[in-house]
Amino acid sequence: MTNMIVKLICAIICSLTLMHSMKIMLDKEYDLPMKKKIVLLILLTVITYFSYSEQYSGESNILKAVFYIIVFRIIFKENIYKTSISLLVTLALIASVDLAWSIFFINFTGAAQARGIWYYILLCNIVICTITILIINIKPLKKWITSFVSNLNERSKFSTFFLFALSVIVIFYAFYNISINYHWSEQYFINALIIVTYVVIILIFFKERNDYSNLMIQYDCLFDYFKELEDSIDEISLNNHECKNQLAVLKGYIEMNKKKEALKYINDLNSTLNAEDQMVTANLKNIPKGGIKGLLYYKIITAKNKKVSVVLDISDHVTKYLKRLTYEENKILSKVLGVYIDNAIEAVLETRKKVLTIEIYNIDNDINIAISNKFKNNNVEIGKISQKGYTTKGSGHGKGLYLINKIVKREKWFTTERRIIDNCYIQKITIISKKNY
């Protein structure tokens, strides 16, 4: 009876450890009602409890892994591929800790005692789960693993899954051999060496994949830079064309000796430009000097040059909150805001009434920035908008929001959300009060 209770406690501890590890790997929250969470935790506990045996079994562990994947797929609502890889990495980490603990614990007892006597079972499970949680919460490792999982893509799906699945299967069978030879022997060292080798292979694969992903991010940034450069050249060409037209008008007045008309035309041009500049400056008076104010000024002028009307609604109370942002936070927010406004301008250009609305206001101590625009409905799938390559604009697009989504996942001081209401696309940024993060 005691053994059964202890095994149940250990199954709960292991299930909670797995859930916590998967949450970190997938960088997701438990977005489920409490009742459903409890039911799924009970299901994980049942799977763990009934798969436990005094001797490791490769077949039962593989079957258990399949059930785990299904349950975690439901909990985190992630695709099977990322869920599978995250679970395989978690199991490899637990196996490494288990091996390290067994090397120490083998000096005090045998396999039958370690996996048969209740206080040894409880001690081993508590130690292994605690060390696993401590390791996975090491910041550099946590960031490294999260980055690897978030950068997984469909192109290398088969090779990645095959490597991890093969590694975990080999590790399971190596542990089976250790469990039946749980004493210092040549057999023990060979199997321990196999486990270490495959863990090292996984780590090397991690590094190679992360290096490749970072290279792709740099390529995407370079692509975006050239796109912005191309847009700037187009804008300069348009301005040059407009200046030539204005000079042609002035030349005509001068050639016809109509100096008064020429002066009036020049004054009208100056008045128009000054009026537009003053209007934009007045609307941005509540934004403190810095990158965000400069960005908004530039984007508003760009929108106006493209015949897009920009409606600004900035609360008088946001100044003090925006002043609290650090230089680095200003830089990140400007990058995110720039991409969102660019996308809004592009979308609104396809509509009849070209109006873009930017609202900045505070609720309690949180700052909210909402960008809304009408758009031409091209069967937009809002759930796929931040996925790499997804676009409604055609080939060569879809990178900007994907890169921004990676920034959003990494940073915890602001959140984003999007929704569509009556054919109006609303993108919202919430800067969380420093008290809350």
Give DSSP secondary structure letters for 137-169. T-HHHHHHHHHHHHT--GGGHHHHHHHHHHHHH
Q: Could you tell me if 199 and 175 are in contact, meaning their C-beta atoms sit under 8 angstroms apart?
A: no
Q: What is the reported pLDDT for 145?
A: 79
pTM for the predicted model, two decimal places: 0.53
| Lowest-confidence pick of 37-46, 288-297, 305-314, 398-407 | 398-407
> If you search the block for the tokens 């060496």, which residue do you land on?
193
Whether the predicted pLDDT of 383 surpasses 60: no
Strands (DSSP E) contained in 154-219 are none
Whether the predicted pLDDT of 282 surpasses 50: yes
Whether the predicted pLDDT of 239 surpasses 60: yes
Strand 424-431 and strand 366-374: pairing? antiparallel
| Lowest-confidence pick of 108-112, 253-257, 366-370 | 108-112
Q: Give per-residue pLDDT as tens, 173-216.
A: 777 676 666 666 777 778 778 878 887 887 787 777 777 767 77
Question: Measured between alpha carbons, how far is residue 19 from residues 22, 44, 324, 422 in Å?
Answer: 5, 9, 36, 39
Task: Collect all residues with Cβ–Cβ distance below 8 Å to 125 and sequence separation of at least 6.
Answer: 10, 13, 14
Q: Could you tell me if 322 and 287 are in contact, meaning their C-beta atoms sit under 8 angstroms apart?
A: yes
Q: What is the reported pLDDT for 436?
A: 53
Q: Could you tell me if 354 and 344 are in contact, meaning their C-beta atoms sit under 8 angstroms apart?
A: no
Q: What is the reported pLDDT for 395?
A: 46
